[in-house]
Structure 1
Amino acid sequence: MKRQLLLAWFALCCLTLSTAALSGSAEQFQLVIPTLDTPAIIDGDLDDAVWQQAATTQLTFETNPGENTPAPVKTEAKVFATKTSLFVAFYAFDPDSSETSDKVRANLADRDGVWGDDLVGVKLDTFNDARLAYQFFINPYGVQMDSIENELTGQESDAWDGIWYSAGRKTAKGYQVEIELPLRMLNFDSQQDIQTWGIELVRFYPRNQQHRLSTHSIDRNNSCQLCQMGVATGLNEAQSGNDLQLTPALVLNRSGSRDINPVGDWNNDNSIEPGLDIRWGITPSTLLNATINPDFSQVEADAGQLDINSTFALFFPEKRAFFLDNKDYFDSQMSLVHTRNIVSPDYGLKLTSKVGNHTLGFMATNDTHTNFLVPGNLSSDIATLDSTSYNLVGRYRADLSDALSVGTIVTAKTSDDYHNYVASSDVKYQPSEQDTLTAQYAYSDTLYPDTLYRSFCSSDDCEPRLNCDLGNCGINERVLRTQIDDNINDSYYKIKYEHKRRNWYAFGQYESVGDDFRADLGFIDKVDMTKTVIGGGYNWYPNSNLLSFVSLRGDWDITHNQAGELLEREAEAKIEMEGAMQSYTAFGYVQRDRVGRRHNGASLAIDDNTQLFNEKMGWFYSNITPVSALKLELDINYGDAIDFANDRLGTELMLNPGLVWKMTDSMSLDVSHIYRSLDIEGRELFSANLTDIRLNWYMTINQFIRVSSIYTDIQRDPSMYLYTDPQAEYAQLGNEVLYGYKLNPQSVFYLGYSDGMRRNDEIDSLTRDEQTYFMKVSYAWLL
């Protein structure tokens, strides 16, 4: 199979292709942008005379839920450029509006946090090759949202933050905004005297439904969104200027911890950490990032997650600025680069570049804490080494034609007596507007320290014990996958074909991950498996105020280990709907056969070493905005679930309600609660509750106070556990109070306090065992 895949891949790469161009076109929409000498003052007033010389256009189409129907409201856009900036202005009219009306939806909130407000913005594909597009959106108060849309992965990432300028205000006729996009933050080909960029001007008009308005029509029979952009020409003699940004930072931290059983004295540690980030646009399409003693503290706590009755490690997204800048240059169809695995570096260097049809990325850092994932086919866990590691990533992609792209990626993570090297190649081929074929092959070489396996042992001697059961033998899967005396190496390959049309789609996917494949700089948590998936669906577009979209979808998959033993077989059907009150509702039914825990932890075998369970579960999810100030959300699962601790089948209930209440234009409350319980033959094995509460008050567009608390409470019945003796109760509470002043994403002042409290069988009440006071100040000097 491997040989056949590689031969097919080689044949695809050698094809001479003749397909429709996959990039923005003048037939869709064309805008000639004049280059003027005078910039606009970004204050939201639009009274500068220079706007009279700008190119003017209308957003005349509704692309969703209407299918290229006339826009329900008038939107006018003006665009011009200077040699160093692109300027965009919008007049967003609303017949039901006034300056004091609540018809126009706008809130003061954090950057990227105003989805659901009235928004206007622009999408820019600065190479017009339908690979990446910048997206910039503004609400009526001037709050910014920016993101990057990646054609390769089909994802939009709002983690990227550029430094740009905006202002807006409500008017008696709706609202208006001004935007300045400095060219220094955009990658483009500066060798061209006249630029040709892909462009789309967009307005989101949220009322009973979320209306998307555009300068041009969008064909739902074309699966490629970036291929359907219009074209902006002009920007004569566009220059990035002296694109050098220096961001010094200073972090002061006082942290304390103590024992609480019994309660001990506080052990306090004071630290003062200066740091420096450097961002240098060597050319408009080549960017160098460097960081020295960076502050990688998490200013905002990660969303709470329940880690109970789960055998795989939790995933947390990246939030740190150094890693997020041009992050998309390192993406591929496999998760080979997940930089949260780099915990505490002293320095980092990153170079990203796009020249013609060639895209290149390189990154190097050290890490004073060496963490990586130890994967398996039934479980995974995090390993930690007490040594500094060195991390390298290299990525290259060549767009051989509009339809064919090939790439390669290499990663390395090394430390004392440890290394992990990965080399991978990938291809994406789009022979038509409806068809996409992707394939990727990766090979790894890994060496573990001789004693690493002992960190996963459940007994001091880490030897199998006689007459043990359910893996309680001193040895488990992570031990067996790390108790290796020499290098291990193996491969991972994945191929997917997808066909999408307006009303239906179908796909098939096959992947194989070898026993000894590792990707320690990525997030590959399952190995020793092969998986086949086939699926499809049918879409309807009702033209009514109640429903605007209905989809019936389903898929079937089967997973084996590399020895051909069955791990899981699953079939799922679901219905999705969009409609009134900006609602989205989905519900479905899942039936699966899958194995539980290994009975003998000293063996990786599946047959005669596990039990096969049949699970049947129904699920429901919905979110709705009944009034502009309130969004409600509910997620429910109910049905069979494996009790992994005791290797038996139970009945699980999961309830996850949530709400976002915009109490005023400047104050919001975000509440989420998760409840999970597992019953065995009518008796409750455990119940778990997690409540995440966040209160935000924006005094101005730049200044805020945030208060957050995450509370977890787990109750167990120890008498029902067959092989372990867990605590009957466990609770923890994390709190944070944060004052922030944010001039832009890199120029910030933070002052805050956080603490943590715990309770268990030995500790009667929640007792504080850690607390931190911190201050951070940083400023981005644009030179």
Structure 2
Amino acid sequence: MAHTYTIIQALSILFWFTCSTAFAAGPEVTQIKDSIVIDGHLNEIQWQNTPVVDHFDRYIPTDGGPPPGKTEVRFLQDEEFLYIGVVVSEINYDLQARISPREQINDDDQIGVYIDPIGDGRSGYIFYFNPFGIQQDVRYANGNWYSQWNMVIHSEGQVTEDGYVLEIALPFRFLFYTEDSNWNIILTRKIPSIGAKYSHPQLKRNHPRIFTQAIPLKGLNPPPSGLGLQLQPTTSGFLIFQENNDLLELQPITKDSARLSLDVRWNPSSNTRMTGTFYPDFSQIEADVRQINLNQRFAFYYPERRPFFLDNLEQFSDRASTLYSRSIVDPLYGIKLSGRSGKLNYGILHALDQAPTSSVHEYGTDGFNEDDVSNTVAENLYIRLRQDAFGAGYIGLYAADKRTFLKSNSTGKEAFNNILGGDIQIPFGDTITLNSHIVGSIAGPKGGDPQIGSSGSFGIGRSAPKGFGGNISSSFSTEDYRQEMGFLTTSGRQSYSGELNHTTINKKDHLIKPAVNGKYTSELNGNYNAQVGFSQSYRIPSRIRFRGYVSPTWIRYQNTDLQGYSAGSDIQIRFNKELKANFEFNTGRELSYYLLLPAETKSVSGGLIIRPTQAIWIDLTVFEQWLTPQNNPLERASSYYSKVNWQFTKTLGLRAIQQTTVSDGTPSLFANVLLTWMKHPGTEAYLGASWNFSESNSKLGLTEQQIFLKYTHLFSL
């Protein structure tokens, strides 16, 4: 009996070792000569004769077994495309699949493809597909996720009686790789109805460097050639009608009423890219949601949307956030060069801004003020070098130069700002990461006395799927530090922060995460802000996410002291695949930055996401804020936002937005209707109209109306 048990044990170990070895070897690509028709039907003979990946393991919410049903993934390749065929079958749950705009598939079943074409674990491309083949793409690099990035992908899908089928073609010409690199890959499958995610290979949840877990993609032979030449002309135009004596009058048509722009991209090789733009379009097709805050000290941050600045954007970022591309407001032209040579990554950007804006600065910290930018243009130069080091880490250098020049026949001032800095990222094991940077700046008027400043930061954190995690960090900037190409310069301050958390997942897969945190910020002018806090997070997979917090605060601002607090909670609930809701409540005692008085504040927000049909998406959001400064009347702000999207097909849809805001007792309403067509990113058309209403005009109400049209087409030569 003992002898038999020993044999069984030995065979079990051998079986496990054999499976693990085969599993770790990675998926295999089959080379083909004839191209595949991307139609969502894997009926070509080539699909029948290629190896299958069918081993997936759960990693969210906890490590576990295989997904329900079967998951089969196959790979083919020709000279132009990497083909991926997916068959999910024999499922026993409620499949979620909707006809949605591109990128809007987070609530659907998904197949994920994570590709690292360099093979070093630092960066990669992430593609998600819902059962109808609708796409979502993300660029990842050195711990940062860039969701605004887009790439041309060909995909089709179909829902079957017991699952779904996907057929995908990834063009090599749009991927950035070196000729001698070894490609690595991760595959995932998401099932939102049960709150689970599965992967091949087995992933660790909350891993800070996800691509270090990727495995080789065997048999791949990508072509050595680059992108070739791409041209993307864009034309846009609009008509504006404004209220005048209770009538809407068409405003004069100028050269800005119609705009023709051109983007050019050229890859001389697969790891070098040149991009140029002339008069790039900045029409707000997906308009920024109007943000309101009765006690806002600093400016609101808005994401970049222009294709030129999104191209290879991971090569133009650093720890100091030196480049905020929306600070380049109206470029006449722009030029970018990015690439990789050995272990060195590089990026160079130059743009001429026709309408530079003044920067935010406070209490004696000089920046580019209104006089510095009036009647000027601004040259913007940014240079980034990053050397791979420390395993999956790096060491980098960056420089920036911004200079204003007077327009012809203009009078005024000219100014400059130079930046030179370095940063470093060092990973320790699978969970710990150290980041640091140091940077110096010189700024001032042309011919005047320059201001010299510096800034820096240090941080180390642990991110783990379970148990203890947290981080500590510190930063400083001297009073004369300036960063005119960045989002916001917070000069003359020091900051220290830290957090300790603990993650537990119980037997029902419920996540429980308490945390304590603290932060202290002091400014050279005597201002300071200190806070300690406690938070509690709780999550039930596929159903509920909850977080509550409480934090006492100590504030000094312009010689006014206040001991206050902040507290609140937010909850997200998924009732079913048709209805989701969220609710948030915050309260506190803070300082009114305008009146320099203690103020009681409360805010409430709530939202619903409704999917009444497969093609209709309704998003409703309400926000209310109350601020009561001491011995002053109550101030109130409100925002009511609604968005309806009707996607007729994968390429054609209609979107309507309405937002009503009330601030200082004055209501205003913005409405927008947009017809959209997108064949793929870069080949798109938009036709829409918008209206602005204000109570200030009691008779008409409508103060402005716009009608606009935009078309862009991507040509690959």
Give the structure-1-normalised TM-score: 0.83
Aligned counterpart, 2:136: 145
The letter for the 2-side match of 1:774 is F
Instruction: Give the direction of change, closer, same or farther, for the CA distance of 1:212–1:246 in structure 2 (3 Å limit).
Output: same
Whether 1:748 and 2:678 are equivalent positions in the alignment is no
Please give the per-residue CA displacement for 1:580-632, whole angstroms capped at 9, x wherever unaligned: 44422111111111124x3xxxxxxxxxxx11111112111111211101121
Looking at structure 2, the residues matched to 71 and 292 of structure 1 have their Cα atoms a distance apart, in angstroms, of 49
Aligned counterpart, 2:524: 562
The letter for the 1-side match of 2:333 is Y
**TM-aligned CA deviation for residue 397 of structure 1:** 0.2
Looking at structure 1, the residues matched to 135 and 369 of structure 2 have their Cα atoms a distance apart, in angstroms, of 39
Aligned counterpart, 1:476: none
Aligned counterpart in structure 2 of residue 414 of structure 1, from 389, 400, 403: 403
Instruction: Give the direction of change, closer, same or farther, for the CA distance of 1:403–1:173 in structure 2 (3 Å limit).
Output: closer
2:565 partner SS: strand
Looking at structure 1, the residues matched to 23 and 157 of structure 2 have their Cα atoms a distance apart, in angstroms, of 32
Instruction: Give the direction of change, closer, same or farther, for the CA distance of 1:44–1:381 in structure 2 (3 Å limit).
Output: farther
Aligned counterpart, 1:120: 111
Aligned counterpart, 2:272: 286
1:677 partner SS: strand
1:371 partner SS: coil
8 A contact 1:95–1:174 mirrored in 2: yes
**TM-aligned CA deviation for residue 399 of structure 1:** 0.7
Aligned counterpart, 2:122: 131
1:6-155 aligned within 5 A: 28=24, 30-96=26-92, 103-151=94-142, 154-155=143-144
Please give the per-residue CA displacement for 1:183-236, whole angstroms capped at 9, x wherever unaligned: 00101112x3xx521210111111132x11111212359543221111212222
Instruction: Give the direction of change, closer, same or farther, for the CA distance of 1:304–1:540 in structure 2 (3 Å limit).
Output: same
Aligned counterpart, 1:213: 198
Q: Structure 1: give runs of 5+ residues left out of the alignment.
A: 1-24, 98-102, 451-484, 599-609, 716-728
The letter for the 2-side match of 1:87 is Y
8 A contact 1:373–1:382 mirrored in 2: yes
Please give the per-residue CA displacement for 1:12-52, whole angstroms capped at 9, x wherever unaligned: xxxxxxxxxxxxx9974512222221222110011111112
8 A contact 1:411–1:422 mirrored in 2: yes
Instruction: Give the direction of change, closer, same or farther, for the CA distance of 1:227–1:108 in structure 2 (3 Å limit).
Output: same
Aligned counterpart, 1:361: 347
Please give the per-residue CA displacement for 1:49-89, whole angstroms capped at 9, x wherever unaligned: 11123331014200101214333332111112112211111
8 A contact 1:84–1:240 mirrored in 2: no
**TM-aligned CA deviation for residue 378 of structure 1:** 12
Looking at structure 1, the residues matched to 502 and 699 of structure 2 have their Cα atoms a distance apart, in angstroms, of 54
The letter for the 2-side match of 1:279 is R
1:223-262 aligned within 5 A: 223-240=208-225, 243-258=228-243
Instruction: Give the direction of change, closer, same or farther, for the CA distance of 1:448–1:257 in structure 2 (3 Å limit).
Output: farther
The letter for the 1-side match of 2:102 is R
The letter for the 2-side match of 1:227 is T
Looking at structure 2, the residues matched to 379 and 409 of structure 1 have their Cα atoms a distance apart, in angstroms, of 23
1:234 partner SS: coil
Instruction: Give the direction of change, closer, same or farther, for the CA distance of 1:519–1:645 in structure 2 (3 Å limit).
Output: same
Looking at structure 2, the residues matched to 196 and 131 of structure 1 have their Cα atoms a distance apart, in angstroms, of 13
**TM-aligned CA deviation for residue 265 of structure 1:** 5.5
Instruction: Give the direction of change, closer, same or farther, for the CA distance of 1:370–1:296 in structure 2 (3 Å limit).
Output: same
Aligned counterpart, 1:688: 637
The letter for the 1-side match of 2:274 is L
Instruction: Give the direction of change, closer, same or farther, for the CA distance of 1:639–1:26 in structure 2 (3 Å limit).
Output: farther
Aligned counterpart, 2:432: 435
Aligned counterpart in structure 2 of residue 586 of structure 1, from 547, 554, 558: 547
Whether 1:734 and 2:670 are equivalent positions in the alignment is yes
Q: Structure 2: give runs of 5+ residues left out of the alignment.
A: 1-20, 406-413
Aligned counterpart, 1:177: 166
The letter for the 2-side match of 1:666 is A
Looking at structure 1, the residues matched to 226 and 438 of structure 2 have their Cα atoms a distance apart, in angstroms, of 40
1:521-536 aligned within 5 A: 521-536=485-500
Looking at structure 2, the residues matched to 439 and 337 of structure 1 have their Cα atoms a distance apart, in angstroms, of 17
Looking at structure 2, the residues matched to 445 and 226 of structure 1 have their Cα atoms a distance apart, in angstroms, of 38
8 A contact 2:227–2:270 mirrored in 1: no
Looking at structure 1, the residues matched to 172 and 422 of structure 2 have their Cα atoms a distance apart, in angstroms, of 33
Aligned counterpart in structure 1 of residue 505 of structure 2, from 535, 538, 541: 541
**TM-aligned CA deviation for residue 258 of structure 1:** 5.0
Instruction: Give the direction of change, closer, same or farther, for the CA distance of 1:156–1:765 in structure 2 (3 Å limit).
Output: farther
Whether 1:160 and 2:160 are equivalent positions in the alignment is no
Instruction: Give the direction of change, closer, same or farther, for the CA distance of 1:30–1:372 in structure 2 (3 Å limit).
Output: farther
8 A contact 2:517–2:533 mirrored in 1: yes
8 A contact 1:377–1:528 mirrored in 2: no
Aligned counterpart, 2:189: 203
Instruction: Give the direction of change, closer, same or farther, for the CA distance of 1:253–1:379 in structure 2 (3 Å limit).
Output: farther
8 A contact 2:90–2:162 mirrored in 1: yes
Please give the per-residue CA displacement for 1:496-540, whole angstroms capped at 9, x wherever unaligned: 112344311132111001111111111234221001112211110
The letter for the 2-side match of 1:755 is W
Instruction: Give the direction of change, closer, same or farther, for the CA distance of 1:240–1:769 in structure 2 (3 Å limit).
Output: farther
**TM-aligned CA deviation for residue 571 of structure 1:** 0.6
Instruction: Give the direction of change, closer, same or farther, for the CA distance of 1:382–1:635 in structure 2 (3 Å limit).
Output: farther
Please give the per-residue CA displacement for 1:647-676, whole angstroms capped at 9, x wherever unaligned: 222221111111111121111111112100
What's the Cα RMSD here? 2.4
Whether 1:625 and 2:609 are equivalent positions in the alignment is no
The letter for the 1-side match of 2:327 is N
The letter for the 1-side match of 2:482 is R
Looking at structure 2, the residues matched to 498 and 235 of structure 1 have their Cα atoms a distance apart, in angstroms, of 36
1:31 partner SS: coil
8 A contact 1:506–1:535 mirrored in 2: yes
Looking at structure 2, the residues matched to 364 and 411 of structure 1 have their Cα atoms a distance apart, in angstroms, of 10
Please give the per-residue CA displacement for 1:365-421, whole angstroms capped at 9, x wherever unaligned: 111110243234899999552321111111110013415411011112111311111
Aligned counterpart, 1:551: 513
Please give the per-residue CA displacement for 1:97-137, whole angstroms capped at 9, x wherever unaligned: 6xxxxx21111122111111111120001111111110111
Looking at structure 2, the residues matched to 235 and 714 of structure 1 have their Cα atoms a distance apart, in angstroms, of 59
2:359 partner SS: strand
Aligned counterpart, 2:17: none
Looking at structure 2, the residues matched to 707 and 280 of structure 1 have their Cα atoms a distance apart, in angstroms, of 37
Aligned counterpart, 2:251: 267
Aligned counterpart, 2:12: none
Looking at structure 1, the residues matched to 363 and 151 of structure 2 have their Cα atoms a distance apart, in angstroms, of 40
Looking at structure 2, the residues matched to 333 and 242 of structure 1 have their Cα atoms a distance apart, in angstroms, of 30
Whether 1:777 and 2:711 are equivalent positions in the alignment is yes
Looking at structure 2, the residues matched to 698 and 254 of structure 1 have their Cα atoms a distance apart, in angstroms, of 26
Instruction: Give the direction of change, closer, same or farther, for the CA distance of 1:414–1:163 in structure 2 (3 Å limit).
Output: same
Instruction: Give the direction of change, closer, same or farther, for the CA distance of 1:94–1:331 in structure 2 (3 Å limit).
Output: farther
The letter for the 1-side match of 2:251 is N
Aligned counterpart in structure 1 of residue 450 of structure 2, from 487, 492, 497: 487
Looking at structure 1, the residues matched to 503 and 366 of structure 2 have their Cα atoms a distance apart, in angstroms, of 37
Instruction: Give the direction of change, closer, same or farther, for the CA distance of 1:380–1:446 in structure 2 (3 Å limit).
Output: closer
**TM-aligned CA deviation for residue 703 of structure 1:** 0.5
Looking at structure 2, the residues matched to 282 and 33 of structure 1 have their Cα atoms a distance apart, in angstroms, of 26
Number of aligned residue pairs:
683
1:161 partner SS: coil
**TM-aligned CA deviation for residue 249 of structure 1:** 1.6
Please give the per-residue CA displacement for 1:701-760, whole angstroms capped at 9, x wherever unaligned: 100111112211124xxxxxxxxxxxxx22222221111111111111111111222335
Deviates more, 1:239-248 or 1:72-81: 239-248
